[in-house]
Copies of this chain bind each other. A is one copy, B any other.
């Protein structure tokens, strides 16, 4: 009998981000290797004696290792960047970006599971990335950082878990780019992953999504302050371009309906327009500026470029199936849970259906849920209540007692 669901879900409480230095270089898809590599991580819950209750949670483009609980040293939280930020007044408390999903009695139940969250390879929140020191020069890598893939992120997570003495994963879970990592895990390490939870994700971004990412990168790289990627130590950072990139991202994460409901065409200051080119007139314009200003304070532009490039490269059929998605899944042993949201036009439900079909074709267990919800791609961060029972039930079906 499951008891957690009968009491109120709680918080994992105060947490601290910790760091591990990997003992070996990470071998990258591009042919280069990376060393040293440090990984920032947090854990929630208790590791079982036989180490069989581990869930690895993977974050999306702008996230970090602080997935749940309250940061002991509050800084700007990844949660700031999400649509949730101005909704619940929690930004000041530095709540983790998936706090609604991870904790006692929550979707990823820390009464039962040992949840591990890392900052991804290439990140700027503690894990080695373009802003880290290149041992060859003693200066930040900048654009000398190797071009990385989602598979490289997963290999880094694998090596990190080795350091923690964790071999098997009860589940790998994530939304968006996090879901890509989860799927990649099941393919790269088929004997070590029992279950995949891929939310608002895809097997390969569609061309329009590739375009939005390309535009965001162009906005950064065309900013003269980017300086070919070597802006560290110059006193200038490409905040202008990254602000534009973030605005593009932000609109693609929401649905048109949600924007209409949230902002309408309400003016910023009065009942009438003020005839200005360079000041915000509509509330939605002001909101986008605010989001951009807040994001550039906490995020590194090169990390944005590298991570965006990795998620556009991601293409399971090309990488693992010789063009066939079903063949890419041939060797996995994990059960897969897919969740998509009806209004998500960046990672549309059709992409999850494609994965479901391919897994069926490969004879693998899969279930796919499309939740009817208005908030677009951001639903994976916002629609906690509706994802929770689906995920809890899926994770309870693994044959072990709850």
B-chain residues with CB within 8 Å of residue A221 when the two chains form the complex: 277-278
B-chain residues with CB within 8 Å of residue A285 when the two chains form the complex: 210-211, 214
Closest to A248 in B: B215
Contact A247-B218, Cβ < 8 Å, known A260-B207, A264-B207, A265-B207: yes
Task: Give the contacts of A222-265 with B (CB-CB under 8 A).
Answer: 222-224, 229, 240-241, 243-244, 247-248, 251, 254, 256, 259-260, 262-265
Size of the chain A interface, CB-CB below 8 angstroms: 59
Closest to A255 in B: B208
Q: Are B208 and A256 in contact (CB under 8 A)?
A: yes
Q: What is the CA–CA distance of A224 and B236 in the complex, to the nearest angstrom?
A: 13
Q: Does A373 sit at the interface, judged by CB under 8 A?
A: no
Task: Give the contacts of A301-329 with B (CB-CB under 8 A).
Answer: 305-306, 309, 312-313, 315, 318
Q: Does A171 sit at the interface, judged by CB under 8 A?
A: no
Instruction: Give the contacting residue for A277; candidates B210, B217, B259, B280; CB below 8 A.
Output: B217
Q: Are A275 and B30 in contact (CB under 8 A)?
A: yes
B-chain residues with CB within 8 Å of residue A288 when the two chains form the complex: 211, 214-215, 218
Q: Does A189 sit at the interface, judged by CB under 8 A?
A: no
> Which of A214, A243, A313 has the most CB atoms of chain B within a 10 A radius of its CB?
A214
Q: Does A360 sit at the interface, judged by CB under 8 A?
A: no
Closest to A221 in B: B278
Q: Does A147 sit at the interface, judged by CB under 8 A?
A: yes
B-chain residues with CB within 8 Å of residue A219 when the two chains form the complex: 219, 244
B-chain residues with CB within 8 Å of residue A280 when the two chains form the complex: 214
Contact A206-B256, Cβ < 8 Å, known A211-B251, A277-B147, A284-B211: yes
Q: Are B251 and A210 in contact (CB under 8 A)?
A: no
Name the distance in Å between A310's Cβ and chain B's nearest Cβ: 10
Q: What is the CA–CA distance of A276 and B217 in the complex, to the nearest angstrom?
A: 12
Contact A277-B143, Cβ < 8 Å, known A210-B284, A282-B207: yes
Q: Does A345 sit at the interface, judged by CB under 8 A?
A: yes
Name the distance in Å between A291's Cβ and chain B's nearest Cβ: 11
B-chain residues with CB within 8 Å of residue A284 when the two chains form the complex: 207, 210-211, 214
B-chain residues with CB within 8 Å of residue A305 when the two chains form the complex: 277
Name the distance in Å between A316's Cβ and chain B's nearest Cβ: 12
B-chain residues with CB within 8 Å of residue A254 when the two chains form the complex: 208
Given contacts A207-B259, A207-B284, A217-B277, 16 further A-B contacts (CB under 8 A): A30-B275, A147-B277, A210-B282, A211-B247, A214-B284, A215-B251, A215-B288, A218-B289, A219-B219, A222-B243, A222-B244, A223-B240, A224-B240, A256-B345, A273-B313, A277-B305
Q: Which 7 A-B pairs have the closest CB atoms?
A: A222-B240, A147-B275, A30-B275, A208-B256, A207-B259, A214-B285, A207-B263
